[in-house]
């Protein structure tokens, strides 16, 4: 089945100038690179920069919610229109320009060729193009802040008629720029996803069967497939929305025979699988980390795969749980309640597998391990609170309250932010050739996780009490909130400020360690996967000699071995073979 | 070519990477066109009066264009056959004929639309016309992109280079043809 | 790469593509003649039935789907299945013009005036 690389290509030296040792210009090395590792860095830094912007937006609107009508330091007065834009752009940026680029694009790009034992993606130039399209999309999105009437304020879900008519959303130019930016981001991820899928299918090292692929690679590939499938109908829907905005069509205009529900369906048909696009890579990252720092085999590799496939399929039949009170056919609401409750089962199973992996392990509480463990704990809360929302009866009450906001932050934050920090702290030595400072790492960890809970636990309470979403000032709309809870809203806002403040130790750690961190060996964590067999950071072309794989990625603490880890590319020694 | 990574040359699945990626592209395009067509079909079934608007589409032009695309698909697969026989110049010739078919298709469509616009049927003229122009327009863009890429591949093939790409662009072209095979009854015959 | 295609060329049996093209053209002609019969269900049957047959012929004979690995077929079929799921989840809302507590006046009026107009024609 596998096609070993032919003799002429097994060694990098004979590959011609493309991989020669002549120094590359700054332009070719940093701006015009086709090297997957450099493209990963580009995605990572762009995503991180946008995370700071997204975090700032949250700070501003939470200040408005805690101290309504007051000038927000570092921003000014928050008008209703600006509030809507802040909330819209926060959500949009965090999902499309932070979570996806960091988890899928950055780590997918960096890890996949290394972990499957090849030199780069199968289409390096398309890879470069995908980042360029992505960068363009980010620029257009940021530009929308500065155009007449500012950024789009119709929520990240962009429901028409609000999003279709400038008379309603008051930022028609921003609305179209938003749509174009999102569409370009989709194109970038379609291009990137193709690379991930085809590289993993075809580019694996000899000996690496499907069951030897590290879980994180599987997860990113499956996430890419989920994305590719679900985004299609939304692209169609977005074209229709753009035409409604600009060209006078009435696809979604009920006044002219259209149907706004069509957009909702097309959006959420994508929107629900999208959350799994963000979740799956985080689950993969956690799997890699807990096996290494518990020195234990993954409890059920094939179980994890089968449940992930099941989740992927199920994720396509739950979408209308976002529309329970939008006026959909109540019989469909019954169907979607059942499927939504069903989909909690495979994910729960995965959490059990992870806990079983940890059980009896020899646990080391390094910074990456702390992040991975906190993912499990926090995501559990997110998942459990989703059950309330998945039941259409309960959702009639909870929909559009802060309970929903707290729920999805307990799922998104672990996936996108905790997942990002877990991955960064784990693979930083490999990416940058230096070790991060453990003390700063732990300070950052505890500050972030505690602050995160301080932000969102109050919102579960206020949401369950009845606080409605997307209201910029409860003083002016008292019937949209429960009175007497302002102290909780203030507490939540303090949490945001503390959270942002605790990112400072991380930034210090990140940039200081780049120059002054202890030099990282090839395999500081004593891990089995292939990326730890190359220098830190890996050279252009990754492997001086392309590896052959002999076993799965999780052979930790295998009985009868001198060391408690067993790299995938270590040949089977004759003595051990006899013992088998 | 030196810019092929080693990963590009491997083929664990047994399918060459170029063809593998083409299938994935086609799969994702099925979702894009599918989403649009599903939306159209739902509306069309709920709006029988759209048949009145639909009566104004030019069935003859649609049929001729179907014929053009079918024939261009024939040329595309003959190009594949030639490329398989390592005959680059012949493959290039067939690819160029295919692309020519694509441009002919677009020209006929151009005349069709010009006539319809003159009659007053534009994108915003109502539900049927909005879908008509959007779907056929998206399809037309794919035809244009495909024809251009085909010419680029043809110029390589003429020099006996990158012959496997001939099959891949052919696959894409057949897919675009199949979309039209469904668009034709949807927009022209169901009246 | 060229050695790869040589092995495949040895395996791909190229059928008579011109004959298949001729069949497709004939089918096209039949589907165009359908509306001329005036029998609505026959016209729809020929139009869409033939479209499915033509698509199958192109996929099988021009795209050689049946010669690819099985999972390619599964991938394509799965996409169609998911589109069917999309249709079944959305149609109950989009294909109706009124619900328990809502009514799409504009759509209803359009259908109404359309059926009046066609009644006048007859």
Cβ distance A331 to C92 less than 8 Å, yes or no, reads: yes
- Please give the residue that has the higher pLDDT: either A10 or A90: A90
Q: Which CATH superfamily, name and number, covers A36-579?
A: Cytochrome c oxidase-like, subunit I domain (1.20.210.10)
With contact defined as 3+ CB pairs under 8 Å, the chains touching C are: A, B
Q: How far apart are the first and last CA of chain C?
A: 64
pLDDT of C14 reads 87
pLDDT-based confidence at residue A575 (cuts at 50, 70, 90): low
**For residue C98, which phi and psi values (nearest 5 degrees)?**
-160, 155
Q: pTM for the complete prediction?
A: 0.94
- Residue A401 DSSP symbol: B
Name beta bridge partners: A565. Answer: A556
Q: For A513-517, B119-123, C65-69, C117-121, which range has the lowest pLDDT when averaged over its residues?
A: C117-121
Q: For residue C3, list chain A residues with Cβ-Cβ distance below 8 A.
A: none
- DSSP string computed for A283-295: HHHHHHHHHHHHT
pLDDT-based confidence at residue C40 (cuts at 50, 70, 90): confident
The residues, any chain, with a CB within 8 Å of residue A119's CB and separated by 6 or more, are: A12, A19, A113, A541, A542, A543, A546, B5, B6, B7
pLDDT of A1 reads 41
Residue A528 CA to residue A523 CA, distance in Å, equals 9
Residue B135 CA to residue A128 CA, distance in Å, equals 30
pLDDT of A24 reads 78
Q: Are A201 and B12 in contact (CB under 8 A)?
A: yes
pLDDT of A21 reads 53
Q: What size, in residues, is chain B?
A: 191
Q: For residue A336, list chain C residues with Cβ-Cβ distance below 8 A.
A: 89
- Quick check: C5 pLDDT over 50? no
- Quick check: B28 pLDDT over 70? yes
pLDDT of A576 reads 53
Residue B66 CA to residue B186 CA, distance in Å, equals 13
Residue A155 CA to residue A152 CA, distance in Å, equals 8
Q: Which of A148, A155, A134 is nearest to A83 (CA)?
A: A155
- DSSP string computed for A312-356: HHHGGG-GGGG-TTTT--HHHHHHHHHHHHHHHHHHHHHHHHHHH
- Residue A71 DSSP symbol: P
Q: What is the number of helices (H) and of strands (E) in chain B?
A: 7, 0
Ranges of H-type helices in A5-35:
7-10, 26
- Quick check: A71 pLDDT over 50? yes
pLDDT-based confidence at residue A580 (cuts at 50, 70, 90): low
Write the pLDDT tens digit of every residue in A430-443.
999 999 999 999 99
- Residue A479 DSSP symbol: G
Q: What is the mean pLDDT of residues A527-547?
A: 95
Contact map slice: C 18-57 vs B, CB within 8 A: 18, 20-21, 24-25, 28, 31-32, 34-35, 43-44, 47-48, 50-51, 54-55
pLDDT-based confidence at residue A99 (cuts at 50, 70, 90): very high
pLDDT of A577 reads 52
Q: Taking the CA atoms of chain B, what radius of gyration do you get in angstroms?
A: 19
The residues, any chain, with a CB within 8 Å of residue C99's CB and separated by 6 or more, are: A327, A329
What are A345's two structure tokens? 């089962």
- Quick check: A211 pLDDT over 60? yes
**For residue A537, which phi and psi values (nearest 5 degrees)?**
-80, 160
Q: Are A453 and A410 in contact (CB under 8 A)?
A: no
Name beta bridge partners: C98. Answer: C103
Write the pLDDT tens digit of every residue in B61-104.
999 999 999 999 999 999 999 999 999 999 999 999 999 999 99
Name beta bridge partners: A87. Answer: none
Q: What is the mean pLDDT of residues B157-170?
A: 95
For B116-122, which contacts have Cβ atoms below 8 Å and span 24 or more sequence positions? B116/B56, B116/B57, B116/B58, B119/B56, B121/B53, B121/B56
Residue A460 CA to residue A462 CA, distance in Å, equals 6
- Residue A572 DSSP symbol: P
pLDDT-based confidence at residue A17 (cuts at 50, 70, 90): very low
Residue A83 CA to residue A241 CA, distance in Å, equals 23
CA A159 vs. chain centroid, Å, equals 23
Residue A289 CA to residue B43 CA, distance in Å, equals 50
Residue B136 CA to residue B121 CA, distance in Å, equals 14
pLDDT-based confidence at residue C35 (cuts at 50, 70, 90): confident
Write the pLDDT tens digit of every residue in A355-364.
999 999 999 9
pLDDT of A2 reads 41
Domain coordinates in residue numbering, chain B: 14-189
Q: What is the number of helices (H) and of strands (E) in chain A?
A: 20, 0
- pLDDT > 90 in chain A, percent: 92
Average pLDDT in chain A: 93
Quote the minimal CA–CA distance from B173 to chain A in Å: 19
Cis peptide before A537 (omega within 30 of 0): yes
Q: Which of C65, A281, C69, A543 is nearest to B11 (CA)?
A: C69
Q: What share of chain C is helix, strand, coil (3-state, %, to 5)?
A: 80, 0, 15
ipTM given for this complex: 0.95
Q: Which CATH superfamily, name and number, covers B14-189?
A: Cytochrome c oxidase, subunit III, four-helix bundle (1.20.120.80)
Query: How many other CB atoms are there within 10 angstroms of residue B62's CB atom?
Result: 22
Distances (CA, A) of A299 to A339, A374, A538: 27, 19, 30
Domain coordinates in residue numbering, chain A: 36-579
Contact map slice: C 59-118 vs B, CB within 8 A: 59, 61-63, 68-69, 72, 75-76, 79-80, 82-83, 86-87, 90-91, 94-97, 107, 110-111, 113-115, 117-118
pLDDT of B2 reads 45
Q: Does A207 contact chain B (CB < 8 Å)? A: no
């Amino acid at each position: 089945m596998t096609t070993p690389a032919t003799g002429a290509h097994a060694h990098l030296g004979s590959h011609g100038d493309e991989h020669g040792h002549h120094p590359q210009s700054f332009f070719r090395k940093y701006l015009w690179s086709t090297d997957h590792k450099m493209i990963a860095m580009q995605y990572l830094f762009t995503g991180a920069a946008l995370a700071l912007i997204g975090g700032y937006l949250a700070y501003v609107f939470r200040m408005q919610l805690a101290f309504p009508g007051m000038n927000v330091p570092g921003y000014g007065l928050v008008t209703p229109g600006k509030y809507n834009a802040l909330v819209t752009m926060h959500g949009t940026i965090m999902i499309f320009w932070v979570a996806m680029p960091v988890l899928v694009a950055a780590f997918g790009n960096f890890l996949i060729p290394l972990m499957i034992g090849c030199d780069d993606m199968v289409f390096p130039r398309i890879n470069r193009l995908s980042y360029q399209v992505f960068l363009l999309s980010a620029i257009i999105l940021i530009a929308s802040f500065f155009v007449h009437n500012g950024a789009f304020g119709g929520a990240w879900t962009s429901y028409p008629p609000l999003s279709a008519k400038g008379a309603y959303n008051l930022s028609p130019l921003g609305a179209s720029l938003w749509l174009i930016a999102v569409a370009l981001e989709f194109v970038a991820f379609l291009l990137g996803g193709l690379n991930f899928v085809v590289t993993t299918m075809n580019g694996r090292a000899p000996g690496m069967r499907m069951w030897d692929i590290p879980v994180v690679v599987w997860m990113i590939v499956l996430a890419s497939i989920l994305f590719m499938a679900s985004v299609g109908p939304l692209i169609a829907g977005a074209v229709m929305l753009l035409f409604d905005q600009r060209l006078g069509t009435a696809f979604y205009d009920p006044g002219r025979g259209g149907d706004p529900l069509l957009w909702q369906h097309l959006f959420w048909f994508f929107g629900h699988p999208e959350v799994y696009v963000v979740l799956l890579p985080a689950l993969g990252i956690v799997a890699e980390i807990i096996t290494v720092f518990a020195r234990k085999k993954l409890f059920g590799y094939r179980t994890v795969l089968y449940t992930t496939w099941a989740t992927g399929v199920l994720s396509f039949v739950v979408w209308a749980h976002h529309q329970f009170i939008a006026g959909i056919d109540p019989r469909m609401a019954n169907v979607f309640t059942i499927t939504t409750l069903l989909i909690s089962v495979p994910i729960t199973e995965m959490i059990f597998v992870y806990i079983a992996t940890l059980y009896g392990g020899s646990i080391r509480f390094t910074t990456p391990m702390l992040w991975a463990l906190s993912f499990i704990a926090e995501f559990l809360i997110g998942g459990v609170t989703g059950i309330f929302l998945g039941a259409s009866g309960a959702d009639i009450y909870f929909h559009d309250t802060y309970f929903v906001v707290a729920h999805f932050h307990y799922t998104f934050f672990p996936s996108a932010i905790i997942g990002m920090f877990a991955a960064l702290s784990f693979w930083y030595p490999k990416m940058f050739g230096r070790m991060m400072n453990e003390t700063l790492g732990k300070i950052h960890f505890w500050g972030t996780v505690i602050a995160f809970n301080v932000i969102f636990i109050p919102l579960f309470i206020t949401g369950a009490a009845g606080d409605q979403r997307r209201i910029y000032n409860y003083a002016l709309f008292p019937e949209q909130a429960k009175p007497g809870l302002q102290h909780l809203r203030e507490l939540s806002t303090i949490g945001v400020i503390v959270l942002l403040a605790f990112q400072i130790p991380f930034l210090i750690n990140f940039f200081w360690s780049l120059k002054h961190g202890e030099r990282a060996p090839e395999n500081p964590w004593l891990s089995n996967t292939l990326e730890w067999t190359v220098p830190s950071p890996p050279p252009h072309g990754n492997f001086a000699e392309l590896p052959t794989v002999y076993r799965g990625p999780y052979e930790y603490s295998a009985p009868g071995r001198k060391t408690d880890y067993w790299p995938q590319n270590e040949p089977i020694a004759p003595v051990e073979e006899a013992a088998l | 070519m030196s810019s092929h990574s080693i990963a590009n040359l491997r083929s664990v699945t047994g399918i060459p990477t170029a063809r593998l990626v083409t299938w994935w592209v086609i799969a994702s395009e099925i979702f894009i066109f599918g989403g649009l067509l599903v939306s159209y079909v739902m509306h069309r079934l709920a709006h029988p009066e759209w048949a009145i608007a639909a009566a104004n589409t030019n069935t003859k032009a649609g049929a001729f264009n179907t014929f053009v695309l079918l024939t261009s698909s024939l040329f595309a697969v003959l190009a594949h056959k030639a490329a398989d026989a390592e005959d680059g110049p012949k493959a290039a010739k067939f690819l160029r004929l295919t692309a020519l078919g694509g441009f002919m298709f677009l020209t006929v469509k151009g005349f069709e639309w010009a006539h319809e616009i003159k009659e007053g049927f534009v994108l915003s003229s109502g539900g049927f016309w909005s879908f008509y122009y959007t779907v056929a327009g998206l399809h037309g863009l794919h035809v244009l992109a495909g024809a251009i890429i085909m010419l680029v591949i043809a110029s390589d093939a003429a020099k006996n280079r990158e012959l496997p790409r001939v099959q891949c662009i052919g696959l894409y072209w057949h897919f675009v043809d199949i979309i039209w095979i469904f668009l034709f009854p949807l927009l022209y015959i169901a009246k | 790469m060229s050695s790869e295609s040589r092995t495949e060329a040895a395996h791909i049996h190229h059928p008579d593509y011109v004959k298949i093209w001729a069949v497709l053209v004939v089918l096209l002609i039949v589907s165009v003649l359908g509306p001329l019969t005036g029998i609505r269900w026959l016209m729809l049957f020929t139009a869409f039935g033939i479209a499915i047959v033509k698509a199958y012929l192109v996929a099988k004979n021009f795209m050689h789907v049946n010669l690819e690995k099985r999972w390619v077929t599964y991938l394509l079929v799965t996409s169609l299945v998911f589109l069917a799921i999309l249709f079944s989840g959305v149609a109950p809302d989009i294909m109706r013009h009124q619900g328990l507590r809502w009514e799409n006046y504009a759509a209803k009026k359009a259908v109404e005036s359309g059926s009046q107009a066609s009644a006048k024609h007859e």
